[in-house]
Structure 1
Amino acid sequence: MPTTRDYEYLLECANVIGVDYNEAENRVKVFVSQKMPPETLADEDDVKKRVQETDADVTVDVVDAGYDDERAGYEPLSTLEVIPEALEGRGERHRPVPAGVSEINAISTAGTGGPYPARVTADATDEASGAVWSDAVGADDLVRLSNNHVYARSNEADLGEPILQPSPQDGGESDDEVGALVGYVPIDDGVRVDVAARSVDRDRESDRYLELEDEWPTGVRRDGYEELREETVTKTGRTTGVTSATVEATSASVNVDFGEGGTITLRDQLITGYMSEPGDSGSAVFLEDGELVGLLFAGSTEQTICNRIANVEADLGVEILTEEPDDGNGDGGGDREPPVYTTTFERALEVDLEGASLDLESVTFGGRPQPGATVPLRIAVVASEPGSYWVDVDGDRERFEIGGESSDDLGHTVTASAAVPEDAAGTLSVSIAGGRLE
């Protein structure tokens, strides 16, 4: 039986930017940048005529991608000159960092941080793998994923370039660095993925997906993609938040216009209806039961294009975990700790930091606050210079040293606890103060 690759010759036709073959129905779906009346097309550009010349039994559907003019391909959703503002709350600074919020290479505009944690496999850094990895990365290291064009600037970035959360367009600066580019699959004709990885500080990462169910992902889909046709999928991203669409194609070959990088053909893509805008690149895509199925990277006004998540794992050399390992060495498991994000402090905490030399980075609860319980806290602070400092949590003070004369590590984590009153309702108020010891 034919496969989608047998119909890639249709990508040479005017306006054609994607093609997908459905073996079960013996049907070819052709995506065009602009749908034209058949009488205006030259014979070499009439996809129905060209298919039926070789097999009259194949059904051909032509689908409009919604452009107003002729295009070379779909557009990656974080390479455009004009990117809309982030949805409320998604362009802010989040610590710990969940998936679905604004983050991108420091020399770029705006994108979305994707799946975490992903564990680097033993053979990921083999030269034969085709992926590019930093020498500092080893087997079982944890990384966060997004697109090559988000983290690695479409092959142009050097390993080690900083990744900011939030993105520069959303106000991100050097102090907002959350990791560095450590690996990517080069974008080239015939590639199946647009993916890259950044390093992580586990104390500042969350394995949650913003505004999705706490238990997602419930699994990672590694086969059976043909079964996804007509299924509903959902993504969480910087620009449009949580949106859903129906899967229209599962093995598509698509042309994608990477600007200066040229038009690249990617294979084995999922195509859904509209559910994204510029800045959503890197979003994780799930089935309705929470199974992770895709990594969003391109689209149009009518369709969204996603890598199969199984290809993301295989081609980059990672295994996406359904929760963060509890022991730091990648052996997985353990209960997920619900984080409290800095962007919700005004609703959950009363913060009073004295002095400008010590800043509060994040507060993480070690369990869900319940009336009458004592909840462990992990408080991350960063100093402006080495020295002796203090942090006070509800009257319990800890003193500590940060750095040395030549140290660049000015961060410190304080462990404490908060007692939840028996009659607490709605919110928990914790008083945190800190400063430098003179």
Structure 2
Amino acid sequence: MPTTQDYEYLLECKNVIGVDYDEREDRVTVFVTQKEPADCLADEDDVEKRVADAGDDVAIDVVDAGYDEEREGFDALSMFETVPEAAPGREGRHRPVPAGVSESNTNLTAGTGGPYPARVTDPDAEDIVWRDDIESGDLVRLSNNHVYARSNAADPGAPILQPSPHDGGEADDAVGELVGYVPIEEGVRVDVAARSVERELESADYFELEASWPTGIRREEYEALQGETVTKTGRTTGVTSAEIEATSASVRVNFGEDHGPVLLREQLVTGPMSEGGDSGSPVFLEDGALVGLLFAGSAEQTICNRIALVESELGVEILTDEPDTGGDVDGSAEIPVRTTTLDHTLSVDLESPSLSLESIRFEDRIRPGESVEAVVTVGAEPGAYWLAIEDEQRTVTIPVDDGPESRGQAAVTIPVSVPDGLEDSLTVRVRGGPVGTLE
């Protein structure tokens, strides 16, 4: 079965800056900077002819990006020397800092501060730039590489200001330092960077969005999102919404003179909902699940990283709220550090009274629209462990029975909500791992 990458040869055509293949509809969507009649194009620039010559029998949609001129890529939305004025209330100084307001590198015009809190899980991963003192379990705030790291140009430790310099931010408005980023390079899948935080200065809120958001983190089944409505909160255009037009697009994005157009893969493309300065905006589904990180666009489209790739490529886990500090915010309290070492997905038959799969069983019959108690049993060395099914998380302790090197077992009960409308099976995801502490 073809994939989007099989159609990247179309990016060689004049005006083409993005391509997406939808397997469900066997359809290729081509994004162009301007539409031209076929009789005005050379054969090598005629998308339909190129596809036919390749022997592919697929539907083709050609979508105008609205530039009205030949361009080499979409715009990275905070790379401009000038940016539009911020939406009311977003250009000011916010303490604590929420996501969705003006925030950027001290040497940039303006951008948007994105998801917080995110917890570092893999500071030793290859091909990721992390400051030397960053450790697993550290909390950070996210935005784009081109917002915090100026497209690889900034060194770790560079100040991040809230508000951005264009909105009056000065040295005293520093809220953190650049601590990590995924380098911008050909074929990358994300435009993301992280800054340090002082927890008493940060808020897990998303400016002008519902207090319950994010209700979760969308980490899978992105192909099913075609046509879904998403909403972002950003510095320039505030809260705006659009429909998803592509879910696995390969796009070229212009990152300025030092990089020029760069190919990014597996991107979400929506209708227009952003302008310059909105880079870094968090993007949500209608149920409040965080789904994307906005970074580029045109007059007719907005481009977003899949949030699951933001996590995996940078080596972080985005949390739906701040970890418990025991009531302290001065950094003296112990912060739980949860490392994922168990990640298992299973299917269970509806109406089944119980399910035994080594360490998991259901206490009652599983019926659509109801909740059922799942008993999760783990075996491990003595210590504290976290276990989670979907968004429900619990902690379990395995006691010391026969010495610290022995293995024991412990069980914890976790409620599972069964969606309405299921017919054959329920799929749940069980995760877990040891709980350490970060002083």
Shorter-chain TM-score: which interval? 0.7 to 0.9
**Distance verdict in 2 for CA 1:330–1:251, change over 3 Å:** farther
Query: Offset of 1:213 from its aligned partner?
Result: 0.5
Equivalent residue, structure 2, for 1:237: 234
Query: Offset of 1:329 from its aligned partner?
Result: 4.7
User: Comparing 214-223 with 324-333, which one deviates more in the overlay?
Assistant: 324-333
Q: State the one-letter code of the partner of 1:206.
A: S
Query: Offset of 1:332 from its aligned partner?
Result: 8.2
Which whole-Å CA distance do the structure 2 matches of 1:243 and 1:48 have between them? 34
Which whole-Å CA distance do the structure 2 matches of 1:145 and 1:281 have between them? 11
Equivalent residue, structure 1, for 2:37: 37
Query: Offset of 1:53 from its aligned partner?
Result: 1.8
Alignment deviations for residues 106-148 of structure 1 (CA, whole Å, 9 cap, x no partner): 0110000000000000x3323x2x2100011100000000000
| Structure 1: runs of 5 or more not aligned | 334-438
Q: State the one-letter code of the partner of 1:264.
A: V
Residues 322-333 of structure 1: pairs in structure 2 closer than 5 A: 322-327=320-325, 329-331=334-336
Query: Offset of 1:74 from its aligned partner?
Result: 0.1
Residues 270-419 of structure 1: pairs in structure 2 closer than 5 A: 270-327=268-325, 329-331=334-336
Q: State the one-letter code of the partner of 1:165.
A: Q
TM-score, normalization by structure 1: 0.74
Query: Offset of 1:331 from its aligned partner?
Result: 2.9
Q: State the one-letter code of the partner of 2:316.
A: V
Alignment deviations for residues 297-332 of structure 1 (CA, whole Å, 9 cap, x no partner): 000000000000000000000000000111255438
Equivalent residue, structure 1, for 2:53: 53
From 234, 253, 257, the counterpart of 2:254: 257
Q: State the one-letter code of the partner of 2:137.
A: D
Alignment deviations for residues 383-416 of structure 1 (CA, whole Å, 9 cap, x no partner): xxxxxxxxxxxxxxxxxxxxxxxxxxxxxxxxxx
Secondary structure at 2:179's aligned position in 1? strand
Equivalent residue, structure 1, for 2:153: 156
Which whole-Å CA distance do the structure 1 matches of 2:70 and 2:54 have between them? 27
Alignment deviations for residues 255-314 of structure 1 (CA, whole Å, 9 cap, x no partner): 001111111000000000000000000000000000000000000000000000000000
Equivalent residue, structure 2, for 1:26: 26
Which whole-Å CA distance do the structure 1 matches of 2:247 and 2:302 have between them? 12
Equivalent residue, structure 2, for 1:247: 244
Secondary structure at 1:35's aligned position in 2? coil
Mapped pair 1:76 → 2:60: no
Equivalent residue, structure 2, for 1:212: 209
User: Conserved in 2, the CA contact under 8 Å of 1:324 and 1:332?
Assistant: no
Task: Report % sequence identity.
Answer: 71
User: Conserved in 1, the CA contact under 8 Å of 2:20 and 2:250?
Assistant: yes
Alignment deviations for residues 20-58 of structure 1 (CA, whole Å, 9 cap, x no partner): 000011100000011111110000000011112223420
Secondary structure at 1:179's aligned position in 2? strand
User: Conserved in 2, the CA contact under 8 Å of 1:21 and 1:29?
Assistant: yes
Equivalent residue, structure 1, for 2:410: none
User: Conserved in 2, the CA contact under 8 Å of 1:234 and 1:243?
Assistant: yes
Q: State the one-letter code of the partner of 2:101.
A: V
Which whole-Å CA distance do the structure 1 matches of 2:158 and 2:102 have between them? 17
User: Conserved in 2, the CA contact under 8 Å of 1:140 and 1:329?
Assistant: no
Q: In angstroms, what is the RMSD of aligned CA positions?
A: 1.1
Which whole-Å CA distance do the structure 2 matches of 1:124 and 1:52 have between them? 46
Equivalent residue, structure 1, for 2:92: 92
User: Comparing 79-88 with 174-183, which one deviates more in the overlay?
Assistant: 79-88
Which whole-Å CA distance do the structure 2 matches of 1:299 and 1:20 have between them? 15
Which whole-Å CA distance do the structure 1 matches of 2:69 and 2:192 have between them? 29
Alignment deviations for residues 58-91 of structure 1 (CA, whole Å, 9 cap, x no partner): 0010000000211000000000122001011000
User: Conserved in 2, the CA contact under 8 Å of 1:325 and 1:332?
Assistant: no
Which whole-Å CA distance do the structure 1 matches of 2:9 and 2:187 have between them? 14
Q: State the one-letter code of the partner of 1:108.
A: L
Q: State the one-letter code of the partner of 2:307.
A: I
Equivalent residue, structure 2, for 1:124: 123
Aligned pair count?
330
User: Conserved in 1, the CA contact under 8 Å of 2:82 and 2:109?
Assistant: no
Secondary structure at 2:220's aligned position in 1? coil
Equivalent residue, structure 2, for 1:175: 172
Secondary structure at 2:336's aligned position in 1? coil
User: Conserved in 2, the CA contact under 8 Å of 1:269 and 1:307?
Assistant: yes
Secondary structure at 1:68's aligned position in 2? coil
Equivalent residue, structure 2, for 1:379: none
Which whole-Å CA distance do the structure 1 matches of 2:123 and 2:51 have between them? 40
Secondary structure at 1:311's aligned position in 2? helix
Secondary structure at 1:109's aligned position in 2? coil
| Structure 2: runs of 5 or more not aligned | 326-332, 339-439
Q: State the one-letter code of the partner of 1:131.
A: I
Equivalent residue, structure 1, for 2:105: 105
**Distance verdict in 2 for CA 1:174–1:150, change over 3 Å:** same
Which whole-Å CA distance do the structure 2 matches of 1:294 and 1:30 have between them? 21
